Amino acid sequence: MSESQKDDEAPSIWEIPEAPQEESADPSAPTSAALDAEDLGKKLSQVEVQKKEAYEKYLRTYAEFENFKKRIAKEQNDQNRYANEQLLRALLPVLDNLARAINHSKESKNLDKLIEGLELTEKEFVSVMNKFGVTAIESLGHPFDPVHHQAMLQVETDDQDENTVVEEFQRGYLLHNRVLRPAFVSVAKNTRKSASQPPQKDTEKAPTEKDHTQ
């Protein structure tokens, strides 16, 4: 073989090798962008469903809360209107007995019977009040208490200690431990104690003749 033939057969260094041909893609196969869009669409649909369910749940909860508020308001209104029902029902027999006492006194023209009926009615009334926690404040002969008493007068006396209640103008009452109404009273001012107190000495120094000459 001649050298010229060998040169023809040897590959030239200047020849560019052909790039390998890629396999032709299937046009019907989805691309990655299409898959992402489809997945995003599914997620959006799920979000829309969840949003609709949450909104419907909110509407149901709001309606239940509004009904609850209306029911509580009605119960409070009824409680305020009928809070004293039990007390008033207990006082009805007292009112009945008072009416009987008045009618009986009109028929008999007996004042003593009227007084007796009124006293019994008063006792029954006090009994009902005690049942509901209302009790009278003991005042006469007790020391003056500004929480339970309201002083209307001071009475000078030698028979009672200082600040002792000597007269009750209007009885006071407690509702359990709370003052429902204070008692209006007069309080003793002991004259013996006031007379026994020595007069206050004048602490100011009287001016002397020496002071005038200065």
How far is Cα 101 from Cα 111, in angstroms, rounded to an integer? 11
Report yes or no: 183 and 168 within 8 Å, Cβ to Cβ: yes
| Domain segments of the chain as ranges | 43-77, 84-132, 135-197
Note the pLDDT of residue 191.
73
Q: What percent of the chain has a predicted confidence (pLDDT) above 70?
A: 73
Note the pLDDT of residue 38.
76
How do the pLDDT tens digits run along the chain, 214 residues long? 545 555 555 555 445 555 555 555 555 555 666 667 778 878 888 888 888 899 999 999 999 999 999 999 998 888 888 888 888 899 999 999 888 888 887 777 778 888 888 899 999 999 999 999 999 999 999 999 999 999 999 999 888 888 999 999 999 999 998 999 999 999 998 876 555 555 555 444 445 544 544 4
Highest CATH level, class, for 135-197: mainly beta
Neighbours of 123 (CB within 10 A): 11
Please give the sequence-ordered ranges of beta strands (E in DSSP) within 13-164, or none if there are none: 134-136, 149-157
C-alpha distances out from residue 119 to 89, 105, 126, 139, Å: 21, 13, 11, 21
Measured in Å, how far apart are the chain's first and last C-alpha atoms? Answer: 162
Report yes or no: 163 and 120 within 8 Å, Cβ to Cβ: no
Note the pLDDT tens digit of each residue in 70-105.
999 998 888 888 888 888 899 999 999 888 888 887
Note the pLDDT of residue 131.
93
Residue 77 DSSP SS3: helix
DSSP string spanning 100-121?
Answer: HHHHHHHHH--HHHHHHHHHHH
- Single pTM value for the model: 0.56
How far is Cα 75 from Cα 120, in angstroms, rounded to an integer? 38
